[in-house]
């Protein structure tokens, strides 16, 4: 199946990770989220991923994350999973996870 990149941010692999935080709600996982701020030059894109799952962070994070992509997987038929954050390079420092949704924040 061909990869469909999410339109929320263009070329995340060209950005640096400026901020990363995980808020976990053990009573209601739908209230859990990951805040991820991506910086390119002087611009910062602040993203919130709702109901994240299967978070993996490789040794070397947040450096060498130049393969990051955000994929729209809503057409894959996965229950409550519509977004995948992956890495197309084999360098150390990648971050990967699944999420129900993603939105821009202020």
pTM of the prediction? Answer: 0.91
Beta strands in 24-99 (DSSP E): 33-40, 43-50, 53-57, 68-72, 83-87, 95-99
User: What residue spans define the domains of the chain?
Assistant: 12-104
DSSP state of 5: B
- Angstrom distances, CA of residue 65 to CA of 33, 49, 60: 20, 18, 9
Q: Is residue 102 within 8 Å of 50, Cβ to Cβ?
A: yes
- Could you read off the pLDDT of 7-36 as tens digits, one per residue? 999 899 999 999 999 999 999 999 999 999
**pLDDT higher than 80, residue 47:** yes
1: confidence class by pLDDT, cuts 50, 70, 90: low
Please give the structure tokens belonging to residue 11. 């070329």
**pLDDT higher than 90, residue 3:** no
């Amino acid at each position: 199946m061909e990869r469909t990149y999410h339109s929320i941010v263009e070329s995340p692999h060209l950005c640096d990770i400026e901020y990363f935080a995980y808020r976990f709600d053990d009573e209601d996982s739908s209230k859990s989220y990951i805040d991820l701020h991506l910086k390119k030059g002087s611009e910062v894109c602040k993203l919130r991923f709702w109901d994240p799952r299967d978070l993996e962070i490789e040794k070397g994070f947040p450096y060498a994350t130049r393969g990051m992509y955000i994929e729209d997987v809503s057409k894959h038929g996965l229950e409550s999973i519509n977004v995948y954050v992956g890495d197309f390079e084999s360098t150390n420092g990648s971050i990967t996870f699944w999420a129900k949704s993603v939105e821009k924040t202020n």
